Amino acid sequence: MPSSIQRFIVDQFIVLMVAAFIIGMLFQPLAAALNPVILYLIMTVMYLSFLKMDFHLLSDEIKQWPIHLYLAITTLMIVPALVFYLCRFVLDLIGLDTTYAVGSLLLFSAPTAVLAATFTLLLKGKFERSLLSMVVTSFLAPLTMPFMLSSVAGSYVEFDYGLLTKTLFMVIVVPFLAATLTIKLFPKVKGIMSPQIPSISVILLVLVKVGALAGFRDIIFNDIGQFFSLLLLSFALLIVVFIFGWFTLWWASGIDKITTGLITTWSNMGLALGIGNMLFKDTDPEVVLFLTVAVLPWHLSLVLVKMLARKVVVNSP
């Protein structure tokens, strides 16, 4: 793929995700065709993320394991539970189905996204900390996500605990092992693929977004007010979680606070969408609809991060 096209895809990531929403809404047959392969697309994204990662950068950060344990518990358990109950309260207040809150729980109980590490680098935060957080939370997620769904939202939705655990291990561990084997057996592949991984990942995530919209066009168009309510709610939740994450290490420096804010807020939306689509599309579509709507503010809010990143770069010596 020509480098100019790669740069365009990465630079216009947010625009492409909005376009994916429009395409998914307009072309439902295409969305229906992509829907069954969403988890496989996510597995490919995870594989590419692990393939590009430089684990030697993490050696010093690993020594601070108490902080990472604290951040993992906060990110994977405390924040999702608080968000779920807050979301449920607001939904009840505005008269919407409280099942939507399960979508917020699924989103924020997902592991840290690669984008969080990318923007930590742009904002001159602790890149190694965000990178290690992504690794730690990814490997803990197959244990914590089923536990959180069962203990916090078990009375609202039913799901197969064993299937969820097995699927998470498949989606996370298998790509990690595949990437590790690729690096060991075919070391040149990483060098060849690395420049193209960001653009390929964006394309795959666009396909995930399109596929997740299968069957939701009529639901959204039939109650456009509900759509905008969920849009505003999910955006507000992102702001609240970022503020909470900022003060998670209240005693630390501004650099630490920027890092924890990003780690806490930008979880793996693609993984949450894939799991939600597998578990709840037929039984509790409200969960998937919340996640599908939340994709828009999840990505649009990154505009604010980019603006802040430019400001940091301009003001830096």
The predicted pLDDT at position 198 comes to 82
Q: Are 200 and 12 in contact (CB under 8 A)?
A: no
Q: Considering the chain, what percentage of its residues have pLDDT values greater than 90? A: 37
Q: Is 206 exposed, middle or buried (0-12, 13-18, 19+ CB in 10 A)?
A: buried
Give whole-number Cα distances, 146 to 83, 89, 266, in Å. 17, 23, 20
In a domain, 84, yes or no: yes
What mean pLDDT value characterizes the chain? 86
pLDDT at res. 309: 52
Each residue of 155-206: pLDDT tens digit?
A: 788 888 888 999 999 999 999 999 999 988 888 888 888 888 888 888 998 9
Token pair for 135: 């690794």
| Other beta carbons less than 10 A from residue 230's beta carbon | 26
pLDDT digits (tens, 9 = 90+) for 138-166: 999 999 999 999 999 887 888 888 889 99
**With 70 as the cut, is the pLDDT of residue 72 above it?**
yes
Q: Which one has a higher pLDDT value, 14 or 315?
A: 14
pLDDT of residue 314: 42
- Return the pLDDT at 1: 66
pLDDT surpassing 60 at residue 317? no
The reported pTM is 0.86
| Each residue's pLDDT tens digit, 199-229 | 888 899 899 989 989 888 888 888 899 999 9
Is residue 317 a part of any domain in this protein? no
> 116 pLDDT exceeds 70?
yes
Instruction: Give the angle subtended at the CA of 201 by the CAs of 196 and 207, to the nearest 5°.
Output: 135
**Which of residues 2 and 128 earns the better pLDDT score?**
128
Domain-located, residue 104: yes
| Whole-Å CA distances, 141 to 166, 271, 285, 297 | 11, 10, 23, 23
Q: What is the pLDDT of residue 255?
A: 79
Nearest to 113 by CA among 217, 276, 265: 265
Domain-located, residue 81? yes
What is the extent of the structural domain holding 226? 3-312
The Cα 192–Cα 226 span in angstroms is 46
194: which residues sit within 8 A by CB, 6+ positions away? 51, 52
Q: Which amino acid is at 197?
A: I
Checking if the pLDDT of 258 tops 70, the result is yes
Q: Is the pLDDT of residue 249 over 90?
A: no
How is residue 216 written in tokens?
A: 């939701």
65 has a pLDDT exceeding 70: yes
Q: What is the separation of C-alpha 58 from the centre of its chain, rounded to a whole number of angstroms?
A: 21
What is the CATH number for 301? 1.20.1530.20
Q: Which two tokens stand for residue 128?
A: 């190694």
Q: How far is CA 284 from CA 63, 127, 156, in A?
A: 43, 37, 10
Does some domain include residue 142?
yes
As to burial, measured by CB atoms within 10 angstroms (0-12 exposed, 13-18 middle, 19+ buried), residue 2 is exposed
Does residue 127 belong to any structural domain of this protein? yes
Amino acid 49 reads S
The yes-or-no verdict on residue 69 having pLDDT over 70 is yes
Tell me which residue has tokens 């830096």. 316
Predicted local confidence at residue 137, as pLDDT: 92
Q: Is residue 99 part of a domain?
A: yes
* 169 three-class SS: helix
Q: What is the pLDDT of residue 186?
A: 86
Contact 300/14 with Cβ under 8 angstroms? yes
Residue 303 tokens, joined: 């505009």
How many domains does the structure of the chain reveal? 1
Overall average pLDDT of the 269-298 stretch: 88
Residue 101 has what pLDDT?
94
What pLDDT was estimated at residue 305? 65
Confidence tier at 29 by pLDDT (50, 70, 90): very high
308 vs 234, which has greater pLDDT? Answer: 234
Whether 75 is in a domain gets the answer yes
Higher pLDDT, 19 or 65: 19
- Tokens at 101, concatenated: 């809150």
